Amino acid sequence: MSFSTPASLLRSRQAAGPAPWQRTAAGANLLAADGNLGVTIFEEITATAGRHNAINLGQGFPDEDGPAEMLDAARAAIASGANQYAPGQGLPVLREAIAAHQDRFYSLAVDPGTEVIVSTGATEAIASALLALAGPGDEVLTFEPFYDSYGAVIGLSGATHTTVALQAPHFLPDDGALEAAFSERTRVVLVNNPHNPTGTVLPREVLQQVVDLAARYNAVIVTDEVYEHLTFGPQHIPVATLPGAAERTLTVSSAGKTFSVTGWKIGWLTGPAPLVSAVRTVKTFLSYTSGTPFQYAVAVGLGLPDAYFTEAAATLKAKRDLLGEGLRAAGMTVLPSSGTYFLTADTSALGITDATALARRLPELIGVAAIPVAVFCHADGAQRTRSLLRFAFCKKFEVLEQASERLAGLGGAL
């Protein structure tokens, strides 16, 4: 099998016509017409939780601050005057720290000068990549369920969003499903691993199949690996480390999840220089740059000892187990979670098949909020995941204990 160089990948994209940032937003009407992106229900559940003083396990953000070393570094950077624009590509000290991180954990050699850009969170890096590499007439392939911003940005690009179903309870694709989903129009494969919302960590054989099919169809792989350090057993495998992947893979991550600083919005993207350059062109016209003092602080965080990363994952695993006990006590079936912040629970064991309706009632019923998995899917996927709820366990132990006590009363409340 022959592998395309990044240059030929870009040529094949350019042959399709003007780049997306040179067009009007052809996907805007498609975005508005798609009722399955989940934006409204996130707002709705959060507002409902607030009205009923409910414990909000719907949104995936921690309720504890990150490492003191990083917080101190951010304060010091502000005090020293690092409050103006950073270079559009990101501060050199952070780009060098990102390259060192990739080498330290994965033996990936990355040139901080040409193969790294710093972004306003992982979301902007992904959006920049999709807008740079896909447009009308192209297909962008994701697994389903999918993080809600994927569908929105694919819509804005004008490309067609195609999906491969991850089947419960282990949330893996059926045999042959990946191959059937690829076509000559597949331009980008967007892989989220570890996976939100299901908590699955995709095995090597599935990831290698993605790489082999992307090579066959001359597609670029964009990987969202923001939960890379939050796995509970299976070791994270960056797609870029697999045979045949490096030349066509853009790897995205961020500081928010690893260091519990989601409000800082510091992310990054690494990969082959020609592809990174194309993404950087789009990113320049989105935010240009972001968070100068936070960039200094994230560089400090990436250099923390190994113990920080292992202890963070171990603590999160204990929180997962605590919440899992509460969900089982509520009568739900808890599905496996090998990574991320999230547990998926099946409400059908309670005789409830419409988890979206239950999610709307939970804050008032028992004072706990969750998000239905169906909002992370298109119509067919929403039916397939109709009885599933996603709960975030990235909260303090005492908050999860209180949530578990409330969940135990669900049967009586129903």
366 with 235, same domain: the answer is no
What pTM did the predictor assign?
A: 0.91
Helix axis angle, 292-302 relative to 68-79, nearest 10°? Answer: 150
Say which CATH number the domain at 141 has.
3.40.640.10
pLDDT value of residue 59: 86
DSSP-assigned letter for residue 368: E
Domain residues for 247?
67-302
Instruction: Report the candidate in 111, 142, 94, 93 with the shortest Cα–Cα distance to residue 277.
Output: 111
277 with 315, same domain: the answer is no
Q: Is residue 74 part of a domain?
A: yes
210 with 147, same domain: the answer is yes
pLDDT value of residue 41: 81
pLDDT value of residue 6: 57
* 176-209: pLDDT as tens digits: 999 999 999 999 999 999 999 999 999 999 999 9
Q: Which residue has the tokens 């040529």?
A: 11
Strand partners, 389: 345, 372
Q: Is residue 132 part of a domain?
A: yes
* 96-126: pLDDT as tens digits: 999 999 999 999 999 999 999 999 999 999 9
Q: How far is CA 116 from the centre of its chain?
A: 19
Which residue among 281, 302, 323 closes a domain? 302
pLDDT value of residue 20: 37
Tokens of 18: 């003007």
329 with 244, same domain: the answer is no
Say which CATH number the domain at 351 has.
3.90.1150.10
pLDDT value of residue 61: 87
pLDDT value of residue 33: 38
pLDDT below 70 — which residues of the chain?
Answer: 1-40
141 with 161, same domain: the answer is yes
- Angle 247-253-256 from CA coordinates, rounded to 5°: 175
